[in-house]
Structure 1
Amino acid sequence: MIRFDSVTKRYPDGTTAVDDLSFEVGEGELVTLVGPSGCGKTTTMMMVNRLIDPTHGQVWVDGADVAGVDPVALRRRIGYVIQQTGLFPHRTVLDNTATVPFLSGWKKARARERAAELLDLVGLDPAVHGSRYPDQLSGGQRQRVGVARALAADPPVLLMDEPFGAVDPVVRDRLQKEFLRLQAGLHKTVLLVTHDIEEAIRLGDRIAVYGAGRIEQYDTPASVLGAPATSYVAEFVGTDRALKQLSVTGIDRGDLEHPPLVRLGEPAADAGRRLRAEGARWAVVLDEDGALHGWAATEELAGVPGTVAGHARRMEAWVPVTGTLKAAFSEMLKHDAGWIAVLDGHRFLGVLTPTTLHEALRRTIGSDARGVPRERAEVDSVPTE
């Protein structure tokens, strides 16, 4: 969808903003451009919609060299979101959102209807916020309007320059989650500029890590963290990159432990005898449909009347199998739990413990470093006794 072919931008004073840049962004892919200030990432993005023209090389969008496309027509087909939103202060939120449809010749009623749909999509009630002006909104709300306005004409490409940088960390986290939700449904081709490696990792399908005017590494977040291409990349992503990798490492069913199971309706004494025979100190308690209920201690089941249901404890520490190791670790800490259940819908699959979580992370780092599938990476454990 977007392709840079040997692109260089050199200014009259001799400053080279980007030098011989070549990379591609696939259709529906979200690529983050990350690096320190002045490294050329914003210049790169602005050459896509011809706010800046390259000195040498070509930029292609959807198979067309942008140098041969009328810049006004080009920009109306490319959504653009900046840090300060750039909303018109004298226009209502609804009319701000409808700006590009208005300019494209849509009838006013249709443009406003589209704007209302998009405000709702980004979590702003058009009946409440549509008639307000930008200075009547919070910073986070203005950023949502900026995203809605960029999407108004349904552009295939979206350019975002530090879109969540002007709000506090709590609002930023919410906006990032909301944008990921939107992207999962819209599948836009996105270039997003950020100086924050955490944001780049969280949002990007791939990351372009910039040095001075050039890309030092272009790869998936997991590969950038697990196998930095240069010492510069390793230093930029930080010495805590193993911890960062938790957020991009999914839960693998092969990493789960499978503790003993008992059912809510099972006689407690029978369950206790069985667990003692197996040498188990505790068991996961499931209902009759296989859904997680909680856990029970062996010593509390042995020799007591009634069913397991009368002695089971609820367990709130769980994550979906589609989650990440970071989510699992966070839940473990939140509930001060020695293990965390992994569920497929309501169905119990197994548990992660601190040991298996650590081994899963080491295996992922090892597989990235050696370029082998995760399931083939071996982990050497240090004996504890």
Structure 2
Amino acid sequence: MIRFEHVTKSYADGTTAVDDLTFEVAEGELVTLVGPSGCGKTTTMKMVNRLIEPTAGRILLDGEDISTLDPVRLRRRIGYVIQQVGLFPHKTVLDNTATVPHLLGRPRKQARARAAELLDLVGLDPSTYGDRYPDQLSGGQRQRVGVARALAADPPVLLMDEPFGAVDPVVREHLQNEFLRLQSTLRKTVLFVTHDIEEAVRLGDRIAVYGAGRIEQFDTPAAVLGAPATPYAAAFVGADRGLKRLSVTPVERGDLEQPPVVRLDDPAAQAAARLAADGAAWAVVLDADGALYGWVPAEALTGAAATHPAEPSPQAATVRAHARPMDAHVPLGAPLRQALSTMLQHDAGWIAVQDGDRHLGVLTPARLHTALRRSTTADAANVPRTQVALDTVPGPAVPATADGHVRTPGTVTAPAGTPDDDA
């Protein structure tokens, strides 16, 4: 969709902003351009809509040399979102969003109808926000209007120059989530400029890491973090790139453990016998529909603890009487970062992994760490994760205590995935 062929931009004072760039952005791909200030990433983007003209080389848009196209008509085919948003202060939100369709000759009523659709798409109810003016909106809301306006003419290409850089971190993350949701539906061809490697990793299908006027590495986020191509790229992504990989490494089936699974209405004695046969200290508990309910410790199902006061006999007691609710789960394919965040949020020693409402297994901190190591090794060797065998240095054997916890110096881990006082 967008192709740079030996593109250079130099100025009369001898400064070279970009030097001999050659790369391609596929249709529907989101490519992030990341690097420090002054490295040429914004110049690269502005050459696509001819706000800046290259000194040498050529840029092709869907096979056409853009130097042969009328600049104004070209820009109306390309969505453009900037950090300062650039809304017209004297126009309402609805009229701001309808600007480009109106310039393209659509009737006012049709342009406003399209604007209303897009405001709703970016999470701004047009009946609430359509008649407001930009100064009546928060920074995050103005950015949403900027995105809606850029999409109003349904352009195949979207250029975004640090669009979320002027808002606070909480709003920024929310905007990133919303944009990823939009992109998964719209599949625009996007060039996204940022100086933040974490934003680049989170959003990009591929990342172009810029040095001084040139691309040091152009690859997937996982490859850039796992195998930086140059010392510059390694220094830029940071020594903590292993942690950044959490955002781009998905939870896979091979990462999961399979503890025993029981149902809420299973007889407690039957469940206890199964756990004893498996040598398990706890089991995942599902409801009648197979959805996660929580967990149950083996000790609660055995002996006198298996008799519920409300039941006439121990045989009538069910798992329901002893199960402990827990709602810590993520979908298969979720980033390891989301999985770790969910563990911490629930103070859990494991979380369930689901495919829709279907239980697939559990992810533990140890398995999460293994998945991250396996992903790093796989990318470095350019092989699938399933082909990676890891050498592990075993630690000393530490027996479980009577309460089912494993205690090591300075740590207390509840294998059933609950706070200490619940175990």
TM > 0.5: yes
Question: How far did 1:285 drift?
Answer: 1.1
Match of 2:167 in 1: 167
**Bigger mean CA offset, 287-296 vs 11-20:** 287-296
Match of 1:4 in 2: 4
Match of 2:101 in 1: 101
SS in 1 for 2:90: coil
- Opposite residue 346 of structure 2, the aligned amino acid is H
2:320 is aligned, of 309, 316, 341, to 309
SS in 2 for 1:37: coil
Matched, 1:339 2:355: no
Match of 1:54 in 2: 54
In the aligned structure 2, how far is the partner of 1:138 from the partner of 1:367? Answer: 44
SS in 1 for 2:354: strand
Deviations 1:215-237 (Å, cap 9, x if unpaired)?
00000101100111011111111
Question: How far did 1:103 drift?
Answer: 1.1
- Opposite residue 58 of structure 2, the aligned amino acid is Q
Match of 2:373 in 1: 362
Count of aligned positions = 385
Match of 2:364 in 1: 353
Question: How far did 1:290 drift?
Answer: 2.5
Deviations 1:123-171 (Å, cap 9, x if unpaired)?
1111121111111111111111111110111000000000001111111
**TM-score of the superposed pair, with normalisation by structure 2:** 0.90
Q: Unaligned stretches of 5+ in structure 2?
A: 307-313, 397-423
**TM-score of the superposed pair, with normalisation by structure 1:** 0.98
Q: What is the RMSD of the two structures over their aligned residues, measured on CA atoms?
A: 0.9
Question: How far did 1:333 drift?
Answer: 0.9
- Opposite residue 358 of structure 1, the aligned amino acid is H
SS in 2 for 1:28: coil
In the aligned structure 2, how far is the partner of 1:64 from the partner of 1:332? Answer: 50
On the 8 A contact 2:292/2:327 being kept in 1, the answer is no
Match of 2:20 in 1: 20
Question: How far did 1:278 drift?
Answer: 2.2
In the aligned structure 2, how far is the partner of 1:178 from the partner of 1:32? Answer: 17
Match of 1:124 in 2: 124
Matched, 1:150 2:161: no
Question: How far did 1:291 drift?
Answer: 2.1
Match of 2:332 in 1: 321
Match of 1:371 in 2: 382
- 1:1-385 mapped onto 2 (5 Å cutoff): 1-303=1-303, 304=306, 305=314, 306-385=317-396
SS in 2 for 1:95: helix
Question: How far did 1:108 drift?
Answer: 0.9
Q: Unaligned stretches of 5+ in structure 1?
A: none
Question: How far did 1:293 drift?
Answer: 1.4
On the 8 A contact 2:3/2:60 being kept in 1, the answer is yes
Deviations 1:146-202 (Å, cap 9, x if unpaired)?
111101110000000000011111111111111111111111000000000010011
**Bigger mean CA offset, 260-269 vs 150-159:** 260-269
- Opposite residue 48 of structure 1, the aligned amino acid is V
Deviations 1:275-332 (Å, cap 9, x if unpaired)?
1232211111122332221110101001322011111111111111131111111111
In the aligned structure 2, how far is the partner of 1:288 from the partner of 1:105? Answer: 58
In the aligned structure 2, how far is the partner of 1:300 from the partner of 1:109? Answer: 67
In the aligned structure 2, how far is the partner of 1:38 from the partner of 1:77? Answer: 27
Question: How far did 1:240 drift?
Answer: 0.8
Question: How far did 1:243 drift?
Answer: 0.7
On the 8 A contact 2:83/2:163 being kept in 1, the answer is yes
In the aligned structure 2, how far is the partner of 1:170 from the partner of 1:293? Answer: 31
**Bigger mean CA offset, 327-336 vs 2-11:** 327-336
Between the aligned residues of both structures, percent identity stands at 73
SS in 1 for 2:48: coil
